[in-house]
Structure 1
Amino acid sequence: MFISQAQNFEDVILWRALKNIENGFYIDIGAQDPVIDSVSRCFYENGWRGIHAEATMHYAEKMRQDRPDEIVIQAAIGIGNGSIRFFEVPETGLSTSDRDSAMKHKAAGRSVVETDVPLMPLSAVFAQGGDREIHWLKVDVEGMEASVIDSWAPSPARPWIVVMESTLPNSQETNYEKWEPKLLGMGYQFVYFDGLSRFYVSDQHQELLRFFGPGPNVFDDFVLAEHTTYAAVLQSRLAERDQMRAEQARIVLQVKGDILEGDRRIHIFEEELSASRGREAIIGAQLYEAHHSLSWRLTRPLRKINALNARLLGLPRRGVRILLEQIIRWLSRHPEWKDRCLRLLYRFPKFRGLLEAFARSRGYGVTPHGLDVGREAEWYIDAPKGTSGQWKQLLEDIPTKSER
C-alpha cells in the first residue's frame, strides 16, 4: 500500500502514472522538508533518487542529513547568475525571492529574514542529472515559477510529467497565466489541476494521459502518513470530535443523573401521598363512626345551641336584645312551645339563667313553671357563675324596665 506524504496528494497522482517505473529519477525545485509534505519521500522509499533544489539553508541542510545519497543544491532557481536577495520565513514553506510576497507575509505578522543566496538556472540543474530520464519535475517556488520556466533553455531535457504550483502563496488566486504558454510551447499538455498545482504531460509520453482525470480515490490504494498537513488537520478535527463526544457523554450522564434524582423524588412523593391517603381513610372512617354514634346523636341539640350562641354573639347587642324579647313574647302567646322550650332549657341551666334574668329585666314574671307576661318580677337573677364574658357584658348592657 502506498503511503502518501505530500501536502495535497501530488505524490498519489504521480505514483498512479509512474508506479511501474523501477528506480526512477525526479527533480524537486523548492523541495523544503525531506519528510513533512514531501512529494518525493514516498518515491525515495520505493528506490527512486533525484535532485533537490532548496534556497533556504535550514531545509537544505535537513535534506542533506536525511538524503545523503541524493544531490541537494542550496540555491534559488531562475533567470540569471550570481546571487539573489532571498526572504526567509522561518519554519514555513513561504520563503521566497519575491519581495511583494515577502512583504505580505511580514504585514501578516510573520518573521521575515533577508539573505543573499546563489542563483542558478533550471538548465544547470538538468545538467547535473546527466543523461538520465527525468520522470517528474516539481516546481514550488512561491511566486518565481515564471523565472524558473524562463531559465529552462537551452537544456533539451523533457521530464515526462511537470507539476507546477499555480496559485499565489496562501491563496486560491491562480498565477499560471504568466508561464503556462511557454511550457505548452515546449511540448507539454495540461492534464490535471488539484486546486493548488497543475499537472502537464510531455507530448513524448502520450501513454500517460489515461492516468489523469479523477482525483485521489479509493482505487489508488493509499493511506496518509501521520505527519502530513492534511493528516494533522484530520487529527485535529478528530480530536475536536472526540472532545465534543466526551462533552456530550458528560451531559448525557448529568441528564441521566437528574432523571434518576427526579424519579427518586417522585417515588418519595408517591409514598408520602399514599401515606396521606391512608391517614385520610382512617380519619374518614373515624368520622363516619363518630357521626353515627349514639353520643353524636344525643348531643345534636347542644351543638345547635352552641351554633346559635356563636351566631348570636356575632350579632350587634341591640339586635340580640330585640330578638330575645320577640322570642319571649312569642313563647308567652304559645304555651305549648313555651313548655317545650322550658323543658329543654332545664338541661342547660346556665343558658336558662341568662334568659330568666333577661326576662325579669323586661318586666316579665318568672315562676318555677315558666315566664308570665304582664307581672313585674319580684326578684332578679344574676348571671350564673361560669357564664361567658360576652353574655355577662350583654346582660349588664340590658336596661331594666324602671330605667326605661
Structure 2
Amino acid sequence: MFVSYAQNFEDVILWRALKQVKNGFYIDIGAQDPVVESVSRGFYENGWRGIHAEATTHYAEKVRQDRPDENVIQAAIGSGDGSIRFFEVQDTGLSTSDPDFAMKHKAAGHSIVETDVPLMPLSAVFAQAGDREVHWLKVDVEGMEASVIESWAPSPARPWVVVMESTLPNSQETNYEQWEPKLLDMGYQFAYFDGLSRFYVSEQHKELLHFFGPGPNVFDGFVLADKTPYTAVLRLRLAERDQQLERAHTEHAHQMAEMRRIVQEDDRRIRTLEGELSASRNREAIIGAQLHETYQSLSWRLTRPLRKINALKAGLLRLPRHGVKILLEKIIRWLSRHPQWKDRCLQLLYRYPKFRGKLEAFARSRGYGVTQHGLDVGHEAEWYIDAPKGASAQWKQLLEDIPAKSER
C-alpha cells in the first residue's frame, strides 16, 4: 500500500499515473524536508531514485543525511549566472529569492536569514540526469517558478509529468499565467489542478491523461504518513493518549510502591510477632520446668495441708455470710461423726489461734460448746455439741444421734 507524505496528495496523483513504472526516476526542485510533506518520499520507499535541488543549507543537509544514495544540488534553480540573494525563512518551506515575499514573511513573525546561494539553470539539472528517463518533475520554489521554466533551455529531457506550484506563497491567488504558456509550447498539456499545484502531461505520454481528473480517493489505496497536516488531530490525540498512559503508569508505579511498603511493614510486624511468640514459648517452657521442679520438691509436699486450709479459708471468705454459717454448722456436725478427722482439725487449729478463736465464738453464738483437754499446744481437744436454746424435739433427737465425744 502506498504511503502518502506530500502536503496536498501530489504523490498520490503521481503514483496513480506512474505506479506501473518500476524503479523510476524523478527531479524535485525545492525538495525541502526529505520526509515531512515530501512528494518524493513515497516513491523513494518504492525503489525510485532521483535528483534534489534545495537552496537552504539546513534542508539540503537533511536530504543528504536521509538519502545518501541520491544526488543533492544545493543551489537555487532559475535563469541567470553566478549567485543569487536568498532569504531563508527558518523552520518553514517558505524560503524564497523574492525580497517582497521575504519581507511579508518577516512581518508575519518569521525569522529571516539572508544568504548568497549559487544559481543553476534547470537545463544543468537535466544534464546531471544524463540519458535517464525522467518520469516526473516537481517545481515548488515560492514565487520563482517562472524563472525555473525560463531556464529550461532546449534539451532532450522531457519529464512524463510536470507538477508546478501555481499559487502565490500562502495564498490561493494563482500565478501560473506567468509561466504556463512556455510550458504548453514545449509540448505539455494541462491535466489537473489540486488547488495548489497544476499537473501537466507530456504529449509523448498522452496515455497518462485519463489518470488525472478525480482527486485522491479510496480507490487509490493509500494511507497517510504520520507527519502530514491531515494527521495533526490524530497526532494530538495520540500525544494525549501517551500522556494518559504515562500518568497511569506513574500512578501504577506509586500504587505498587505503596503496596510493597505495606507488605514490607506487614512482614516486619509478622517477624516481630513471631519473635514475641517464640520468646513467650521459651518463657512458658522455663516456667513449666520451674513449676514441675517446685511440685516435686519436699517443701511443696510438706506444705500441702496449709495450702488446702488457705484455699478453704479463701473459699469461705468468698461465700455469702449466711452460706458460711450454714456450712460451718454442717462441718461441725460432720466432724463430730468422724473422730479421726476431728482430731486432725483440732491439731491444725492450734497453729492458727486467730482462726480457732473465730470458730469457737461462732460455735458459742450458735449454742454449741467447745472444750479442750490439756493446756499444752498440740494436745488433743474435744468438741461436744449441745442443742441450741429453744431447739425443737426433732432437733434434739438429731443431736443425740451425733457422738458427744470423739472416740479414742
TM-score w.r.t. length of structure 1? 0.58
> Which string of whole-angstrom CA distances, capped at 9 and with x for unpartnered residues, describes residues 225-246 of structure 1?
0111222255448989xxxxxx
Q: Pairwise mapping of residues 2-401 of structure 1 onto structure 2 (< 5 A)? A: 2-233=2-233, 235-236=235-236
> Which blocks of at least 5 consecutive residues in structure 2 are unaligned?
241-408
> Which string of whole-angstrom CA distances, capped at 9 and with x for unpartnered residues, describes residues 322-343 of structure 1?
xxxxxxxxxxxxxxxxxxxxxx
State the distance in 1 between where 2:7 and 2:234 align: 13
> Which string of whole-angstrom CA distances, capped at 9 and with x for unpartnered residues, describes residues 294-313 of structure 1?
xxxxxxxxxxxxxxxxxxxx
Q: Counterpart amino acid of 2:116?
A: D
> Which string of whole-angstrom CA distances, capped at 9 and with x for unpartnered residues, describes residues 321-374 of structure 1?
xxxxxxxxxxxxxxxxxxxxxxxxxxxxxxxxxxxxxxxxxxxxxxxxxxxxxx
Q: Which runs of 4+ in 1 moved over 6 A?
A: 237-240
Post-superposition offset of 1:160 = 0.1
Secondary structure in 1 matching 2:126: helix
> Which string of whole-angstrom CA distances, capped at 9 and with x for unpartnered residues, describes residues 247-275 of structure 1?
xxxxxxxxxxxxxxxxxxxxxxxxxxxxx
Distance 1:54 1:233, change over 3 A: farther
Match of 2:332 in 1: none
> Which blocks of at least 5 consecutive residues in structure 1 are unaligned?
241-404
Secondary structure in 2 matching 1:37: coil
Distance 1:108 1:151, change over 3 A: same
Q: Counterpart amino acid of 1:217?
A: N
Secondary structure in 2 matching 1:105: helix
Conservation of the 8 A alpha-carbon contact between 1:8 and 1:230: no
Bigger mean CA deviation after superposition, 7-16 or 224-233: 224-233
State the distance in 2 between where 1:192 and 1:233 align: 28
For the pair shown, the structure with the greater C-alpha radius of gyration is 2
State the distance in 1 between where 2:7 and 2:21 align: 23
> Which string of whole-angstrom CA distances, capped at 9 and with x for unpartnered residues, describes residues 185-219 of structure 1?
10000010001000000000010011000000000
* Alignment coverage as a number of residue pairs: 243
State the distance in 1 between where 2:236 and 2:101 align: 29
Q: Percent identity at matched positions?
A: 85
Post-superposition offset of 1:155 = 1.9
Q: Counterpart amino acid of 1:203?
A: E
Q: Counterpart amino acid of 2:194?
A: D
Distance 1:155 1:237, change over 3 A: farther
Secondary structure in 2 matching 1:110: coil
Post-superposition offset of 1:81 = 1.3
State the distance in 2 between where 1:182 and 1:170 align: 25
Match of 2:256 in 1: none
Conservation of the 8 A alpha-carbon contact between 1:30 and 1:53: yes
> Which string of whole-angstrom CA distances, capped at 9 and with x for unpartnered residues, describes residues 110-139 of structure 1?
111100000000000000000000000000
Secondary structure in 1 matching 2:204: helix
Over the aligned positions, Cα root-mean-square deviation in angstroms equals 1.9
Conservation of the 8 A alpha-carbon contact between 1:28 and 1:53: yes
Q: Counterpart amino acid of 1:181?
A: P
Secondary structure in 2 matching 1:125: helix
Post-superposition offset of 1:156 = 2.3
